[in-house]
Amino acid sequence: MTASNNRTSPLQLPAQRHEPRPRIVVVAGPTAVGKTALGVELAVEFNGEVVNADSRYLYRGFDIGVAKPNLTERRGIPHHLIDLLPPDGEMTLARYQDFALDAIENVLGRNKLPILVGGTPLYINAVIEGWRMPRVPPNLSLRAALEAEALANGTDTLANRLREVDPAAAERCGRNLRRIIRALEVYETTGIPMSAQEGKGPPPFAALEIGLTMPRDALYRAVDDRVRDQIARGLVAEVRSLMESGVPENAPAMSSLGYRQLVPYILGESSLEQAIERIRFDTHRYVRHQETWLRRNARLIWFDVTIPDWMSSAKARVRAFLNESVAPSPPGSCLS
C-alpha cells in the first residue's frame, strides 16, 4: 500500500467541503486493556474495518511481543496498516498520517465505517486533529553525521545550532537528541524551520473517540498475564530469530517492549527471570505514560472494562453517534 502526499480525493473538492464530515470511530487506551477486541466487535456490529494506530503493529516479524492480532482474532475483519514495514524499517509521524488517511479514505469509499484502533496517542491525534507537518524523508547520511558530531562534541552543540535556526523547535526538543536531529534535518532539507511547517488544520472527520480503562492494579495484572502468555507462546524464539536474521539491536522496532529487554538474555548477559521482570516493570511504566497522554484528550469517552455490560454501553454510544446529525465540514477542510 502506498500513501500519497497530494490527495485528489472527492472529499477534498470544494463542492463537497461544506457537506457533513465523514464519520470515524476511535478506540484508544493503554496496553492490555482490550482495544483490539472492541475494535473488531464494533467492526462486526457496524459494518466497519479496522485501521491500525499502534506504532509497533507496522513491523513485519514483530508479532508475539506486540500482541499483534492474528487472523482468528481479526474474525474476518479487514485490518489496515499492519505489517507495512520490514523489521528494520522506520516510520515517521507524517508518513503514518499519510498512510492512515489513505486507508480511511479507502474504507469510506466502500461505505464502511473506519475504526481507528491503537495505543499510540500521537498517531491518533495527527489523524483526528488534522495535524500539518513537514514531509521530509529521512536523510540517513546527514543523521549519521549529526550523531557523530553529538558524540564528539555533546548534544548541546546541536541544540545550540537548532536554537539559532528554529528557536521554537529547540524549546520543544530540549536535549532529546533524536528530536533535535530531526528538526535540523527538516531545516537542512527545506530551508524552512520545522516549527513553521507545523500546526493543526480543521478536523477532517466527525469522530467518536472511545477510551478504554481499568483500575491500575487490574491493568498491571493484565499486563503480567500477557507477558507470561507471550513467553509461553515463544517470544524468546521470536526475538532470537529477528536478531539472527540481521535486525540490528538499534532498529526502531527492537526498542519495543518485550524485545529490548530480552536482548541481554539472548546475549548471555542476564537471566530469563531478570529479563521477564524487566519487561513487566517497563510495561507498567509505559501504561502509566500512555494513560497520562490519553487523559490529555478531552474528547475521549471513557469506559471501564471491569464494569459489567461496558461493551453494550460502548456499542450503544457508537449507535447513537452514527444516527445523530453531523456538522458540515469547516470551510477549507480536507484530508491533507
Q: How confident is the model at residue 6 (pLDDT cuts 50, 70, 90)?
A: very low
Q: Which three cell numbers stand for residue 311?
A: 461493551
Residue 248 has pLDDT above 80, yes or no: yes
| Range in 170-174, 216-220, 225-229, 315-319 the model is least confident about | 170-174
Mean pLDDT calculated for residue range 127-148 = 91
Give the chain's domains with CATH numbers.
20-132+204-323 (3.40.50.300), 140-197 (1.10.20.140)
Q: How confident is the model at residue 19 (pLDDT cuts 50, 70, 90)?
A: low
Q: CA 208 to CA 215: how far, in whole Å?
A: 23
Burial of 293 (0-12, 13-18, 19+ CB in 10 A): middle
Written in H, E and C, the secondary structure of 296-325 is: CCCCCEEEECCCCCHHHHHHHHHHHHHHCC
Residue 3 has pLDDT above 50, yes or no: no
Q: How confident is the model at residue 135 (pLDDT cuts 50, 70, 90)?
A: confident
Q: Which three cell numbers stand for residue 246?
A: 540481521
Per-residue model confidence as pLDDT tens digits over 51-74: 999 999 999 999 999 999 999 999
Mean pLDDT calculated for residue range 188-202 = 89
- The pLDDT of residue 328: 52
Residue 106 has pLDDT above 80, yes or no: yes
Q: How confident is the model at residue 92 (pLDDT cuts 50, 70, 90)?
A: confident
Query: Coil, strand, or helix at residue 278?
Result: helix
Mean pLDDT calculated for residue range 123-141 = 90
Lookup result for grid cell 500482541: 67
Q: If you ran DSSP here, which 8-state letter would residue 22 be given?
A: P
Query: In the chain, pLDDT over 90 holds for what percent of residues?
Result: 80
- The pLDDT of residue 326: 58
Cα 268 to chain centroid distance, Å, stands at: 32
- The pLDDT of residue 315: 97
Q: If you ran DSSP here, which 8-state letter would residue 328 be given?
A: B
Indicate the pTM of the whole model: 0.82
